A and B are shown apart, each in its own frame.
Chain A
Amino acid sequence: MKKGYYGTFGGQFVPELLMPPLIELEKAYRDILPSKPFQDELGALLRDYVGRPSPLYRCPNLSRRLGFDLWLKREDLNHSGAHKINNTMGQGLLTRHMGKRVLLAETGAGQHGVATATAAAMLGLDCVVYMGAVDVHRQSLNVKRMELMGATVHPVESGTKTLKDATNAALRHWIAEQRDTHYCIGSVVGPHPFPALVRDLQAVISKEARAQFLEATGALPDYVVACCGGGSNAMGAFHHFIPDASVKLVAVEAGGSGEPGCHHSAAIGKGTPGVLHGMHTELIQTADGQIEPSHSIAAGLDYPGVGPEHAWLAESGRAHYGLVHDADALDAFKVLSREEGIIPALESSHALAWVLRHHDEIPAGATVMVCLSGRGDKDLDIMQEMGLL
């Protein structure tokens, strides 16, 4: 029986050899994750170690300039600097409850790798990370951070040597080491139950934000805007607002340089349905079904697919999928730094850039929440190297 579908998207397109560990994980997702002892333990870790709840902050200077209220959900203030840790602490704890002792991860820029290494160190698990050889060079500081926390980082030399190939390598490793290893996937992607599991772990973002809005303003926001690579911070920011029909949900994909024919990461905006990494979803691919290289100035958005629930939210019309090019994201990066003293991740800058680009469509007095998925310190080196600072 088919499982894990959002409309026609999702499913479990993996070798049979991975079905037993996926079925084991489905059981843990169903039985362990919602249990009170697990939720209590996770809640305490998120509070004491990660620093949750993250603040919901109204930007005074930009709000004045824009004529509507711009609020930031400050995931950048989490321990290790991004929303990624909401997922890795949850999956790490689940790994311990399943009686496994190794956390396996793929990483692009290294943010998810760092968050996994962090959780593994804290929870006393071993950690193995696959990272494209190109990214190992581009993000050597993150490799050092992972290694400092005890992770073993394997450079991946196959294919395009970036995130999609690191994901292939992690899946291969999991086939061989499934007995004592949990694959801690980094976004709401992959075969069922990963998209649901990662969404539930990231949903803490919208759970807190919804209550924080009601408390601070007595009303729900008019817009919730988040950047979308694999789509985990966006799914987390959307989840508890989905039943609230008045709340407009906007996910922002990376459009690359914007030149005609440029590489990009807009799987929903410009892709077509297909199967990759265990899921049926929107993909950047050729007419023959070969996966094409993606590109974004934000390494964390540089992925040719997207989570299946997003493909469905787009098809159903519940969420809008916008596009932001590299230059606009850079501009937003500088604007937030300068105006509010907050240096955002280049990924999160895409969400902010969408708001800045569309400010004249947003009614005066509206409330807009941007999920500030991570802090931008990690991007300074590469931006300096590219002459962008």
Chain B
Amino acid sequence: MNESRLEQRIRAAMAKGRKALIPFLPAGYPDLERFWDELAALDAGGADIIEIGVPFSDPVADGPVVERASLHCLELGVSLAWIIAELKKRRASIGAEIVLMGYMNPFLQYGFERLAADAADAGVAGLIIPDLPYEEAMDVKRTLGARGIDLVYLVGLNTEGERLAMYAADAAGFAYFVSVLGTTGVRETLPEEITAKLAAAKKTFRVPLALGFGIKTPEQLAAYGDDLDAVVFGSALIRHIEEGGTAAEFMRRWA
């Protein structure tokens, strides 16, 4: 089996002695034009993988910042078809790997066979579907895998023992460790129990481990050392742009 592009990319960052950077931005945010400029800025600013959010009307795993941004993008007319078509036009100029993150229903309506083909064609390396747990994931994972697209699993503070092992045995690309028992959104402090749980996950997973939800600054990660291979940040980036900032400035904190 070919090694996953997502995994390769994270391992390349690790080889340089740093954590891979994975910014998240909802497609079409803050507007349809500027989104692609900010995406280019994330890429130029050192992103290893970029998660493009596919907006959904009912994002249950998200807090208010991502939800507000997603609903705003829906009002602007963003659809999965638009994302894939526009990405395809620009893919050659983007160095980072691209992951689509979104809820099950818009993907399902597009159709997974068609999605796998079109997304592969647009240069997408992975999908993250927060409302698709292991029990429901098999068919989707196979369909995407046939086109070289990884379905990235999420696990969390309450994924233990057998469930953690079950995810680890089947993981592709990287494992996305959710830092809180909660939704996306910036948090000043992360739960203390992360340290031990991350260490356990690191021992269990063969693929690299990314931490996400609530991450704002590199300082928050100091405690986790080598148990962490990559970091995902979304709400903090959206808030920065909401307050008039740019992706380029935001990435300077991290690079």
Where the two chains meet, the residues of A that have a C-beta atom closer than 8 Å to any C-beta of B are 1-3, 11-17, 19-20, 158-159, 164-165, 168, 171-172, 175-176, 178, 274-278, 283, 285, 287-291
User: Per DSSP, are chain A's interface residues mostly helix, strand or loop, or mixed?
Assistant: mixed
Q: How would residues 9 to 39 of chain B score, 1 for a CB under 8 Å from any chain A CB and 0 otherwise?
A: 0000000000000000000000000000000
Q: Which of B89-97, B150-158, B220-228 contacts A (4 or more CB under 8 A)?
A: B150-158
Name the B residues within 8 Å of A19 (CB-CB).
133-135, 159, 163
A275 adjacent to B135 (CB under 8 Å):
no
Question: Is the pair A289, B131 in contact by a Cβ cutoff of 8 Å?
Answer: no
Q: By the criterion CB–CB under 8 Å, are B109 and A287 in contact?
A: yes
- Which residues in chain B, 138-186, are within 8 Å of chain A measured between CB atoms? 153-160, 163, 167, 178, 180-183
* B108 lies within 8 A of A159 (CB): no
Q: Which residues of B contact A289 (CB under 8 A)?
A: 56, 80, 105-110
Asked whether, in the complex, the Cβ of B104 is within 8 Å of the Cβ of A275, the reply is: yes
Docked-complex contact A17 and B181, CB < 8 angstroms = yes
In the complex, are the beta carbons of A290 and B159 less than 8 A apart?
no
Contact yes or no, B155 A171, CB < 8 A: no
Q: What residues of chain B have their CB less than 8 Å away from a CB belonging to chain A?
A: 56-61, 63-64, 67-68, 71, 74, 79-81, 103-110, 130-136, 153-160, 163, 167, 178, 180-183
Q: Measured between alpha carbons, how far is A114 from B58 in the docked complex, in Å?
A: 25
- Cross-chain contact B133 with A290 (CB below 8 angstroms): no
Query: Are the C-beta atoms of B133 and A15 separated by less than 8 Å?
Result: yes
Supposing A2-B136, A289-B110, A290-B74 touch, asked if A15 and B57 sit within 8 A by C-beta, the answer is no
Q: How far is the CA of A289 from the CA of B59 in the complex (A)?
A: 12
Q: Are B136 and A274 in contact (CB under 8 A)?
A: no
A327 to B26, CA, bound (A): 42
Smallest CB separation, B199 vs chain A (Å): 19
B133 touches A16 (CB 8 A): yes
Is the CB–CB distance between A274 and B108 below 8 Å? yes
Give chain B nearest CB distance to A199 CB in angstroms.
Answer: 21
Are B58 and A17 in contact (CB-based, < 8 A)? no
Name the CB-closest residue of B to A176. Answer: B182
Residues of B within 8 A of A158 (CB): 64, 67-68
A162 CA / B42 CA spacing, docked (Å): 36
**Inter-chain contact A175/B181, CB cutoff 8 Å:** yes
B158 pairs with A17, CB closer than 8 A: yes
- Whether A12 lies near B136 (C-beta < 8 A) is yes
| With contact pairs A13-B132, A16-B133 given, residues A274 and B109 touching in the complex (Cβ less than 8 Å) | yes
Residues of B within 8 A of A283 (CB): 105
Q: State in angstroms the CA–CA spacing of A159 and B180 once bound together.
A: 24
Q: Can you list 26 pairs linking A and B with CB atoms under 8 Å apart?
A: A12-B136, A13-B136, A14-B60, A15-B133, A16-B159, A16-B178, A17-B61, A17-B158, A19-B133, A19-B159, A19-B163, A20-B160, A159-B58, A172-B182, A175-B183, A178-B181, A276-B105, A283-B105, A288-B80, A288-B81, A289-B80, A289-B105, A289-B106, A289-B108, A290-B56, A290-B57
In the complex the two chains form, what is the Cα distance from A288 to B81 in whole Å?
9
Given contacts A16-B154, A288-B106, A289-B106, contact A2 B135 (CB under 8 A): yes
B residues within 8 A CB of A178?
158, 181
Partner of A291, one of B57, B63, B79, B110: B57
Shortest Cβ distance from B80 into A: residue: A288
Partner of A1, one of B79, B108, B135, B183: B135
In the complex, are the beta carbons of A3 and B135 less than 8 A apart? yes
| Set of chain B residues within 8 Å of A12, measured between Cβ atoms | 133, 135-136
The answer to whether residues A175 and B182 also contact, given A276-B58, A289-B56 and a CB cut-off of 8 A, is yes
